[in-house]
């Protein structure tokens, strides 16, 4: 090969060969150029025949994989299958996932995530979810959320929802609001199920089981006075006046004028007095 000046080191010669003129291509390697043109045949030759490093970087720290994502033809998949780092960030800390998310390249976004890319890398302007929301890329936002991106992540005082609002992206705003409401809804559903099971156990006189179920429900809804009243009743039936009084006092504090709270207090005090 002429490029290696007869030294027999084509790999080193090709890796050291870079575009020198100023501009967007400055620092490009032969693999960058092949990836930019979507030339799978040339990529194969460089990677498999010459064993060129798939993660060579240009002057901005960008790898060939980034430019392969702009073309169909399988060059991006090929580079990933041959060791390209899907988490590689450029000199500004912007990852490939940021580029895919902000450009709305859902196909590449799915590919990177399927290959195990970290979903929440942080750059100066935020995570990929910030970028997708800020560009109004609904499809990208949905994919990232489906892969458990952190929708509450705050970077420089901005959350993805704020980014979507700044972009006036109604669809992204609705999606981000919905996903924030879902955990609260799930907590309410789980708590109601636990309360229902607790009531069934109480009717069956399985007081220990009912008390455990009410305790779990309290972890989800610690401000429900009825839960403390019902658990107090469980302790009363099990003969534990001290715990019954503690729960009755909490219940009375939440609802001072509720007759049942007063009754639970009196019952607990009577049990302690008898004991």
* pLDDT for the residue numbered 97: 95
With a CB cutoff of 8 Å and minimum separation 6, the contacts of 112 are: 86, 96, 97, 100
pLDDT of amino acid 5: 43
Model pLDDT, residue 226:
95
C-alpha 14/C-alpha 195 separation (Å) is 69
The residue among 116 and 188 whose pLDDT is bigger is 116
pLDDT score of 1: 42
59 DSSP 8-state letter: T
Q: Residues 33-44: what's their mean pLDDT?
A: 92
Q: Is 93 in contact with 123 (CB distance < 8 Å)? A: yes
Give the C-alpha distances (Å, rounded to integers) separating 204 from 50, 166, 190, 250.
76, 56, 21, 25
The token pair that represents 200 in the structure block: 């069934």
Please report the domains of the chain, with CATH numbers, ordered by start residue: 9-82 (1.25.40.20), 96-104+113-151+158-168 (no CATH), 180-273 (1.25.40.10)
pLDDT of residue 72: 67
Identify the band that residue 22 occupies on the pLDDT scale cut at 50, 70 and 90: low
What is the per-residue pLDDT for 15? 76
Can you give the pLDDT at residue 21? Answer: 73
Alpha carbon distance 251, 122 (integer Å): 45
Mean pLDDT of all residues in 94-121: 93
Which residues share a beta bridge with 129? none
Among 85-94, 120-129, 163-172, 177-186, which stretch is predicted with the lowest mean pLDDT? 177-186
| Rounded-to-integer distance, Cα 172 and Cα 21, Å | 41
Looking at residue 27, what is its pLDDT? 84
- Whether pTM > 0.85 for this model: the answer is no
**169 and 138 in contact (C-beta within 8 Å)?**
yes
| Average pLDDT across the chain, whole number | 89
Q: Is the pLDDT of residue 183 over 50?
A: yes
Residue 21 C-beta-side C-alpha neighbours within 13 Å: 2
Rounded CA separation 233/227 (Å): 10
């Amino acid at each position: 090969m002429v490029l290696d000046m007869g030294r027999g080191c084509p790999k080193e010669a090709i890796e050291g060969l870079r575009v020198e003129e100023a501009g967007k291509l400055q620092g490009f390697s032969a693999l960058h150029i092949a990836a930019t043109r979507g030339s799978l045949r040339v990529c194969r030759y460089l990677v498999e025949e010459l064993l060129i490093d798939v993660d060579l970087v240009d002057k901005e720290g960008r790898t060939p994989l980034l430019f392969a994502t702009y073309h169909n033809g399988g060059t991006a998949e090929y580079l990933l299958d041959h060791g390209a780092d899907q988490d590689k960030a450029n000199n500004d800390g912007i990852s490939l996932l940021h580029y895919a998310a902000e450009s709305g390249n859902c196909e590449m976004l799915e590919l990177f995530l399927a290959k195990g890319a970290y979903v929440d890398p942080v750059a100066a302007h935020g995570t990929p979810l910030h970028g997708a929301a800020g560009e109004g890329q609904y499809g990208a936002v949905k994919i990232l959320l489906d892969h458990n991106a952190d929708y509450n992540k705050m970077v420089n005082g901005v959350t993805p929802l704020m980014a979507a609002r700044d972009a006036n992206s109604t669809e992204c705003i609705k999606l981000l609001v919905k996903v924030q409401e879902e955990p609260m809804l799930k907590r309410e559903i789980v708590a109601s199920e636990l309360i229902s099971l607790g009531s069934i156990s109480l009717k069956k006189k399985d007081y220990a089981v009912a008390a455990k179920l009410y305790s779990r429900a309290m972890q989800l809804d610690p401000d429900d006075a009825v839960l403390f009243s019902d658990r107090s009743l469980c302790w009363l039936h099990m003969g534990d006046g001290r715990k019954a009084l503690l729960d009755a006092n909490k219940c009375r504090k939440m609802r001072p004028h509720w007759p049942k709270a007063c009754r639970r207090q009196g019952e607990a005090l009577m049990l302690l007095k008898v004991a």
